[in-house]
Amino acid sequence: MTPISLISAILLLVAIGLILTLVSRYLSMKKQYKLPSAQENRENQGSADSLVDTQGFAQRLARMIQIPTVSWTNHSKRDLKLFSQFQEELITLYPRVHETLKREVHGNFGLIYHWKGKNSAKGKNPDQKPVLFLAHYDVVPAEEKGESWREPPFSGKIKEGILWGRGTLDIKSQLAFQMETAEILLAQGWQPDRDIYFAFGGDEEIAGTEGAQNMANIFKERGMSFEFVMDEGGVIAQDQLAFLKGQPAALVGLAEKGMVTFKITAPGESGHSSMPGKEGTAIGRLARGVVRLEKKSFPSRLDPVIQNMLERFVPHVSPGLGIIFANLWLFSPLIRFIFSKNKTTDSLIRTTQAVTVFNSGEQENILPGQATCLVNHRILPGDTIGQLLKRHKQVLKDKGLTLEDAGNWPANDPIKAGDPGGSGFQLIQKVLADTHPGTIAVPFLVNGSTDSKYYRDLTEQILRFTPLLLKPEDIATIHGVNEKVSLNNLENGLKFYLQLFSQL
């Protein structure tokens, strides 16, 4: 054999080996991530369906929407009476829950409910840890800027199968699902095996320090821990990912990015604008620093949660794409390249930085004494606030610029990801097979910040998920205009919760 033909033979063998590896990984994931069948719980589902009163449920949620529990960054603008009115309204809407469950009110915003389980009462099964369901009942303002609401944001109007208003998607619906489910099950004489807790905050939209953080500390003081904690963060997304061709995907947030805002300050010498120094003003100095930061985005990386999300799509995409998703060990650079072309997917593969506030100068003929800006970051798991600080100092290349945590919102490193093999994710997947057949449950990285971050030391599994099926145009209404939810969506979400509770 000549050396050339030997090399060709080796290359051919390598190519065959590679193709076999790619294909066998594809075939094995195609099998492994097939959707579970709905058969086994069909009987349960029938009985759950008959308990749902969709109209009544929508009307109860409408009552919640009609109380404008608006969170303002300027805290003094909040109307605290409305928050206590909301808490009182729950007592009227859900009498059984309030007869049976122990309710605690903490501060202006915190509401904890404790539903004692059968085993807890008798101390039977100490291994059966309680579960905790979270939601928040504050909403962002609904002032009309530009485009206006088709129905007033706090009307709670129900028209042609749609419930309108601020909070229908973010996230009074989640609170309503949980209360309605408990009310229905109590009417059936049902009691959970394990303890169930609810913790509702009223200031999530402005950091959650008075509601969720306070309640999490109370649970910690009591030495508690939970099998899982369920909060908002992911939904059932439809038409969000073109390659799924309309098939819905339940994005279960198992990981959450961290957050920090840095304040950068450039010093300057104030004085008469007719005699500026050669080096320019504080504004120029800070601007040069900002340009250097913006030129250098953070490196991209496929987090294990995103990898597993793509792998679970394997059975539902074309074979070509399936082979790529099943072999991220080889195709990660390609996926990252594609993700980086769109701002939504780009935010899933790197720590982001956004200069959101820039302050300096008072008058056109006065040199500013300093310039400051705020740079907000959403931190990819694997990075830390400490690393970000170090990196920025290098990139800014100006020792005169000072960098500090802006401190308006509590900063946090990324939250440790939950395991898709854990009991919580498995349960969601199983229930969805019954209530939302054809929906692919996948782990997801939430790039916003939720109340659940305060509970990170209280459980190994945080599940950020609301069973509402949303299209991109629905998602655009969250924090925007025309937020609304269809009654059909509410009905299916309630069935999901009924199934979930009955299997706890």
**Which positions are catalytic?**
138, 204
Nearer to Zn ion, 170 or 183 (CB): 170
Nearer to Zn ion, 25 or 172 (CB): 172
DSSP assignment of 24-75:
HHHHHHHHHTPPPPSGGGHHHHHHHHHH--HHHHHHHHHHHHTS--B--SSG
Nearer to Zn ion, 255 or 401 (CB): 255
| Strand partners of residue 237 | 249, 470
7's tokens = 């090399």
**Residue 443 and residue 459 in contact, taking contact as beta carbons nearer than 8 Å:** no
Total residues interacting with Zn ion, rule: CB under 5 A:
2
Q: HSE-up of 59 (CA within 13 Å, CB side)?
A: 7
Label residues 158-170 b or e (16+ Cβ within 10 Å = b): beeebbbbbbbbb
Least Å from the CB of residue 97 to Zn ion: 22
**Residue 250 and residue 441 in contact, taking contact as beta carbons nearer than 8 Å:** yes
Binding mask 166-195 for Zn ion (x = CB under 5 A): ----xx------------------------
Nearer to Zn ion, 234 or 248 (CB): 234
User: From CA 339, how far away is CA 322, in angstroms rounded?
Assistant: 16
Least Å from the CB of residue 170 to Zn ion: 4
Identity of residue 175: L
Least Å from the CB of residue 452 to Zn ion: 11
Nearer to Zn ion, 264 or 463 (CB): 463
Least Å from the CB of residue 101 to Zn ion: 23
Positions 151 through 170 that interact with Zn ion (CB under 5 A): 170
Cα dihedral 432, 435, 438, 442, rounded to 10, equals -20
Least Å from the CB of residue 143 to Zn ion: 18
**Residue 463 and residue 254 in contact, taking contact as beta carbons nearer than 8 Å:** yes
Overall residue count recorded for the chain in this entry: 504
Judged by the rule CB under 5 A, the positions of this chain that interact with Zn ion are 170-171
